[in-house]
Structure 1
Amino acid sequence: MGKKLQVFLLLQLAIMTILASVVFEDCGSVYELYAVNIAGCGSRLPCYITLGEDVLVRLEFHADFLSRKLDQDVVIKINHINLKTPVTPELCEIVDCPVSTKYVTSFTSIMTVPTNMALNQRGYLRWRIYNENEVLVLCYSVLVQTQSPIQKFLFQK
């Protein structure tokens, strides 16, 4: 991971620690999911996501058992269309694997919002994390609404 990305992640992490968790729906987590922080979203729904933007997402959870590998599967579903959403870095690049059962684990990923989605539409961000045995260890869903970069700029004024 590059130095600039590390500094950026640390800065965003510091900002996000003072923000409240978004309202999320657990969709079958085996681990206990405590908080989901999405940069730019507070506790009000929907969470506005901007097309083409890189968004920091931070999770806090407790693992009931060890996992040696974690893989993320992130989809945004708008108008009955599921769009796979790129996420970096992979979890075991930033979280020491195996995941410990002794304390709460936190990690931050960067999600890139696809540009080929309809604007001003509501849908769901669904984030699934599987371990090396393909067990669904974390799963959550958040109500989102799409916006353009211009809309984001105008709404911030």
Structure 2
Amino acid sequence: MLGVLILVSVWVLSHSSSVVFEDCGSAYDLRAVEIHGCGTRLPCLITLGERVPVNIRFHAGFESRNLNHEVVININYVNLRTQVTPETCVQCPVTTNNDNSMTSLMIVPTSMALNQRGHLQWRVFNEHSQQVLCYSVLVQTQNQLQKLLRQSLSNDTSNT
């Protein structure tokens, strides 16, 4: 499983650009959030039921030995916790005065309203329950068919 996450990390880094995000109280200096399939254009389209690689890059001013995720997607004032695989650090533990990177796989819940906008809020806590990273991204839900149609339309317009 670790090998798969490392390969996903390399793929995400080479095929993504940072999304527009709002820092919601990070103790570390959050530098970039890369969500597979999202670029700099908002909202970030998320597909119900998909496993989405998410990479964050940050500068740590102090050490943390363990990191725990709390991920919530808020659509129409309904908060749905989102399952996330354990983080993979480039350098574990997170070291002081160093640039760090972490990639996780987020599973988008299937029980959310379709074609709705809301916010993905991702919070990371260290072993002392201190919030070290927090960001929010504007998202919009879609199903697999809508994703395929959007990809098809984007391919058609790029070929003309």
- State the TM-score, normalizing by the size of structure 2: 0.89
Is 2:38 the counterpart of 1:38? Answer: no
Aligned to 2:145: 150
Aligned to 1:23: 20
Aligned to 1:117: 112
Following TM superposition, by how much is the alpha carbon of 1:123 offset from its aligned partner in structure 2, in angstroms?
0.2
Kindly report which structure 2 residues correspond to 1:1-157, keeping only aligned pairs within 5 A, or say none: 1=1, 3=3, 5-6=4-5, 8-16=7-15, 19-88=16-85, 90-91=86-87, 94-157=89-152
Letter of the 2:33 counterpart: V
Instruction: Measure the CA separation in 1 of the matches of 2:26 and 2:129.
Output: 13
CA contact (8 A) 1:79 1:123 kept: yes
In structure 2, the CA distance between the partners of 1:14 and 1:134, relative to structure 1 (3 Å rule), is closer
Tell me the C-alpha RMSD between the 2 structures. 1.6
Instruction: Measure the CA separation in 2 of the matches of 1:11 and 1:95.
Output: 11
CA contact (8 A) 2:9 2:55 kept: no
Instruction: Measure the CA separation in 2 of the matches of 1:58 and 1:2.
Output: 15
Instruction: Measure the CA separation in 1 of the matches of 2:68 and 2:6.
Output: 24
Instruction: Measure the CA separation in 1 of the matches of 2:93 and 2:140.
Output: 35
**Structure 1 residues without counterparts, runs of 5 or longer:** none
- State the TM-score, normalizing by the size of structure 1: 0.90
Quick one: percent identity of the two aligned structures?
A: 56
* Count of residues paired in the alignment: 152
Letter of the 1:27 counterpart: C
CA contact (8 A) 1:23 1:45 kept: yes
For the residue of structure 1 that corresponds to 2:25, the secondary structure is coil
